[in-house]
Structure 1
Amino acid sequence: MLRKFLPDQFVLLLFGTLVLAWLLPVPLNAVPLAQSISFAGIFFLFFLHGLRLPRHEVARAMMGWQLQGIMLAFTFILMPLLGLGVSTIAAQFLPAALASGLLYAAILPSTVQSAVSYATLGKGNIAASVIGSALSNLSGIFATPLLFALLLGSASGVVIGSDIVIKIITMLLLPFVLGQAVQSWLGQWAARQKKLLTICDRGVILLAVYVAFGAAVSSGSLEVISIASLALLVLFAAVFLGIAFAAAWFAGGILDLPRSDRISLLFTGAHKSIAIGAPMAALLFSPKIAGLMILPTILYHQLQLIASVPLAKRLASTQGDSD
């Protein structure tokens, strides 16, 4: 019965990581070392992304234009605008960092695995979901920091200077390019080691979340979070997710997309990637606020996994019905 509401064990792992970071936070004097280990893991994570994503899918993602353009516009234009509205209202009730974290979640790229999985379950356009989520992640390496600078930079006090740009290129783009470069030699090995590399993927993400959240606990930044504010944050994240799903579905209808394409837009457009969000937060924010900024993304990610299973099944069961 529980698995109906927690369809992916990663939800529990993320929650357990937050609890561990709360109970056993990173000591302040160990934060620099922990960040260095986390950065090394982030480099490896994006190397794996480059190694496992077939070049022909990257090429197809770069060449697609109509549906892919709609997906990108929804992810990096409409979602940030929706997030700006939600975070502005949330700022009246939540600490500033948590409200800003909702907007940070809105400017992240789509997931890859879950967007494709739920589009498949809902009988969507699988090829479009694969290419769209891949292109979203590639674009997000640059689009997310730019959107952050445009929408959040001055308000948060974080400036996207040359040091941040160098970090992003070194920690995200360079390892991805290296992974693509050695794919001819290691690609088949990576395909055979899918389960092991998935564990490595998730381990790095959990490490980044632990370091960010644990450092925030040690610095005292999380003292602004009360039970009431946490409950409100969950509510705002749930409302934002509902708005995102509704906007994606109706946008597909307004654009007169085929039903399968609407389903792909629904999941690719509304889903947000913790795999990009956690590493990117480690690069953009200081340890003092990174944990606060990433918390809304973690909650949104958990909610999207929980909500997507019944939604995808509903879409699949009503395939023959009129939209």
Structure 2
Amino acid sequence: MLRRFLPDRFTCALIVTVLLASFLPCRGSAASVFNVLTDIAIALLFFLHGAKLSREAVVAGITHWRLHLVVLASTFVLFPLLGFALRPVLQPLITPDLYLGVLFLCALPSTVQSSIAFTSMARGNIPAAICAASASSLLGIFITPLLTGLMLESHGQAGMSWGAVGSIVMQLLVPFVAGQIAQRWIGGWVTRHRAMLTFVDQGSILLVVYTAFSAAVLQGLWKEIPVPVLGGLFIVDAILLALALLITRYGSRALGFKREDEITIVFCGSKKSLASGVPMAKVLFAGHPLGTIVLPIMLFHQIQLMTCAVLARKYAARPVAWRNE
């Protein structure tokens, strides 16, 4: 029971990275070196994701178009609407910069690995989950920068430039497409060496977090975010996740989906990707206090993992007859 609520190794690594950046921030030439290493790691990450994505799995799940539309609507429509509709409730709990980070969180695509893992654990529609989560991640390369620009403009901030969108395409989409092209030669090797992909995945995030928080700490991050504000951010993230889980669960039932499809919609439609969000934030929010932008994503990541782990076990514990209704 206790293990369900303890942070995983990656979350512990994130905490250590934030502490390291707080007490030993990189600066000067060291910061420039870390920025270059981060760009290389991000490009490698999306190349490997492109090489790993199975076309057969996409074809197997792509025919379930109603489910995919619901997942995409939850990811790119429901979350932004919640972020704006709850503004009178959410914004007083946190600082303006953190609220920008929450709006960016609302525009992010779904996760891939954890969405599929929790769907499998809960005995949902795995092929559809693979397709829905992968489509969300790929479309997010285009949709997230545009959504972020629209939300920032409505929030009174400068919108995203086409240069920022172009940077996203060059740094994320081009390596992904290159990986898809190379899949026929290296796809099997990448699949067999999943540990390497996990290392690159988590390593690139840790590099971005370290450089982002180093810069933010040098600018006085922790003087601007006291403990009560961190508590408020936890409440904000928890409210967003709880509403997303409830709406996807009961909305999928109202639309007549089977239980297996409901599970897929719940786990793919309620998540936000830390792996995509941190690299995108580095490009889209150049000149902004990046530490406060990624902090809501990091906290949401841990809350969604803990909550969905418990929810997946409850789904899996239901009788077989209930799952086949």
TM-score range, shorter chain: over 0.9
Deviates more, 1:168-177 or 1:146-155: 146-155
Equivalent-residue separation in structure 1 for 2:3 and 2:207 (angstroms): 25
- Report deviation, 1:83: 2.2
List aligned pairs for 1:57-72, cutoff 5 A: 57-58=57-58, 64-72=64-72
Equivalent-residue separation in structure 2 for 1:156 and 1:276 (angstroms): 25
Aligned residue number for residue 238 of structure 1: 238
Aligned residue number for residue 276 of structure 1: 276
- SS of equivalent to 1:57: helix
- Report deviation, 1:136: 0.5
List aligned pairs for 1:266-305, cutoff 5 A: 266-286=266-286, 288-305=288-305
8 A Cα contact 1:28 1:218, kept in partner: no
Quick check: 1:76 aligned with 2:87?
Answer: no
Deviates more, 1:87-96 or 1:251-260: 87-96
Q: Deviations over 1:230-261 (max 9, x none)?
A: 11111111121111111110111111111111
- Report deviation, 1:197: 2.0
Equivalent-residue separation in structure 2 for 1:311 and 1:19 (angstroms): 31
Equivalent-residue separation in structure 1 for 2:33 and 2:192 (angstroms): 33
Give the TM-score normalised by structure 1.
Answer: 0.93
- CA 1:34 to 1:215, structure 2 compared with 1: closer, same or farther past 3 Å? same
8 A Cα contact 1:7 1:309, kept in partner: no
Deviates more, 1:198-207 or 1:157-166: 157-166
Q: Please tell me the residue identity of whatever aligns with 2:254.
A: I
Quick check: 1:250 aligned with 2:250?
Answer: yes
Aligned residue number for residue 97 of structure 2: 97
8 A Cα contact 1:18 1:209, kept in partner: yes
Aligned residue number for residue 312 of structure 2: 312
- Structure 1: gaps of 5 or more residues: none
Aligned residue number for residue 114 of structure 2: 114
Aligned residue number for residue 10 of structure 2: 10
Q: How many residues align?
A: 323
Deviates more, 1:59-68 or 1:163-172: 59-68
Aligned residue number for residue 54 of structure 2: 54
- Report deviation, 1:63: 5.8
Q: Deviations over 1:191-234 (max 9, x none)?
A: 22111221121111111111112211112244210011011111
- CA 1:290 to 1:87, structure 2 compared with 1: closer, same or farther past 3 Å? farther
- CA 1:143 to 1:71, structure 2 compared with 1: closer, same or farther past 3 Å? same
- CA 1:295 to 1:3, structure 2 compared with 1: closer, same or farther past 3 Å? same
8 A Cα contact 2:62 2:128, kept in partner: no
8 A Cα contact 1:221 1:288, kept in partner: no
8 A Cα contact 1:5 1:306, kept in partner: yes
Aligned residue number for residue 220 of structure 1: 220
8 A Cα contact 1:219 1:288, kept in partner: no
- SS of equivalent to 1:92: helix
8 A Cα contact 1:55 1:180, kept in partner: no
- Report deviation, 1:123: 1.5
Aligned residue number for residue 134 of structure 1: 134
8 A Cα contact 1:216 1:288, kept in partner: no
Equivalent-residue separation in structure 2 for 1:18 and 1:256 (angstroms): 44
Quick check: 1:123 aligned with 2:120?
Answer: no
- Report deviation, 1:285: 0.7
Equivalent-residue separation in structure 1 for 2:183 and 2:17 (angstroms): 32
Equivalent-residue separation in structure 2 for 1:156 and 1:203 (angstroms): 34
Aligned residue number for residue 197 of structure 1: 197
- Structure 2: gaps of 5 or more residues: none
Equivalent-residue separation in structure 1 for 2:53 and 2:269 (angstroms): 20
Equivalent-residue separation in structure 2 for 1:199 and 1:180 (angstroms): 20
- Report deviation, 1:301: 0.5
Equivalent-residue separation in structure 1 for 2:309 and 2:7 (angstroms): 7
Aligned residue number for residue 155 of structure 2: 155
8 A Cα contact 1:86 1:240, kept in partner: no
- Report deviation, 1:144: 0.5
- CA 1:309 to 1:93, structure 2 compared with 1: closer, same or farther past 3 Å? closer
8 A Cα contact 1:52 1:187, kept in partner: yes
Aligned residue number for residue 25 of structure 1: 25
Give the TM-score normalised by structure 2.
Answer: 0.93
Q: Please tell me the residue identity of whatever aligns with 1:289.
A: P
Equivalent-residue separation in structure 2 for 1:185 and 1:295 (angstroms): 38
- SS of equivalent to 1:286: coil
